[in-house]
Chain A
């Protein structure tokens, strides 16, 4: 291999080479390692919950413990895995490369935001073992319970606050980079679609995250000083918390899904060997999703006692936000149509994404209808829905991107056959695990319950079996990827025949990405 950012000499020769580096590629890898470690931890917690659900009643886990398990699982998966996930790990590595830049606009700030991430993670994890014990509120920290429970909510919430800082700084950094550091000749409509999606995401991170920050601070104040903002007995309003929480947390689901959609729009044209269908429609639908996505948070609160006027309007807006997502799905399918597709691991993951995300998205519309949501709110139906969109959607797209950019990042190839088997196993396991949850939820199985009546036994057990298949697939995938970092066959600089700029430099890239800054003369998907 030629000289690259791993081998070129740096200021330090020990661990500081990584934790003091301002190189966006090293920071991306720092994020990637931390994010996947937390993912594996939370995954094992999920499996333990499913083990418990093999039979009803108290077995090896008590009700209290189950409450803490789903809270910790949810908090880690949301705040430590899926929100930072694609932007912080893949975005950090790929964004400057795709722009033809040497680094992001604020390299030090970039490193700083990783420290915020780690500090937040440390707080969240410390809260499990200190104070009154692991939080048991669910990842949503709803008042009034979260201000009265004796568990260590304050520290966990402070951890989430720090993670929010990290996310905001990443968003700010990317926005500036995209505005200021595009290679000569790269107009807005010559930008790869992954960058468009990070751009839309950046605005959401920047404008929505401060709201969760202030909300979480208010919860801490309420716990410590009884200020009475949310507690009705002191003149507060508990529904106000739900508003403030979801004003951030709903746009946050677009922080999760938009970059995932960007990856999919990147992979499809490369493997179908034809230009993407409706470039501008995809770019603008990202912005439209970001925009309308701000206005639908109320659909999490249809049964909380909101006014009828608000419920009708939020329901309407929810149906509208489905339109730009639909635009994208149709564009992807149209791009594949009559393409001369090269079937390999990244494309297979993308197909799995489209399948799972469509199920997740369409069941979301069920929930957006007021009358149906009355029936399924707070049931396993919701649990199934959000695993389909977040895990089946964002998770699978993340894995697709990981396989797609793997040769660029590590300069080697993974074993293609194992990658395909892993994806197949995951797809089967995923559906066996979560599809029964739709049925259970429809039949009335509530979420966050450690117990269930006898008639749910069969489907509960089926779902637990699914979790084993899924985990086998995930472990196989990681085994393949980790092993190939050292053992894989060396990859060329452009193994897939991609046209975007990251493929114009060597794999892995040199420290400053390009020997000569490239000049862009055409759109990103000219096949």
Chain B
């Protein structure tokens, strides 16, 4: 199977992704401390999604997978996005 081919990912990529993850975590903490109301919910959610995507993309090699797998992963993500969106219709307008 093609997906079992071995791709060489440089250490540099791994380290920069790790650095990005750490930086994003720091931002999450700072935003939480700033108490900015609704933004302090939205920003961490966006950041968490970005972090999860980075892990999937690089660490879990999604980048090198077939299109079908990428598409399949998109389905639950879109579902989750819609669900969160509808929930926020309540929380933001309450």
Contacts and interface: CB of A to CB of B under 8 A. Distances in A.
A306 B79 contact: no
Interface of B: 75-76, 79, 82-83, 86-87, 89-94
A211 B84 CA distance: 12
Contact of A295 (B75, B76, B86): B86
A310 B75 contact: no
**Majority DSSP secondary structure for residues of A touching B:** helix
A207 B92 contact: no
5 contacts: A240-B87, A247-B83, A307-B89, A307-B91, A313-B89
Interface of A: 207, 211, 237, 239-240, 243, 247, 294-295, 298, 305-310, 313-314
- In order of increasing CB-CB distance, the 4 nearest A-B pairs are A307-B93, A310-B90, A309-B93, A307-B94
Given A207-B75, A294-B79, A313 B94 contact: no
A308 B92 CA distance: 11
A237 B91 CA distance: 10
A310 B89 contact: yes
A309 B86 CA distance: 10
B90 A243 contact: yes
B27 to A, nearest CB: 22
Contacts of B91: 237, 307
A294 B82 contact: yes
Contacts of A237: 91
A298 B83 contact: no
Contacts of B92: 307
A298 B76 contact: no
A456 B44 CA distance: 53
B5 to A, nearest CB: 23
A309 B79 contact: no
Contacts of B87: 240, 243, 247
A308 B93 CA distance: 8
Contacts of A307: 89-94
A24 to B, nearest CB: 25
Contacts of B82: 294-295
Contacts of B83: 211, 247, 294
B89 to A, nearest CB: 4
Contacts of B93: 307-310
B53 to A, nearest CB: 18
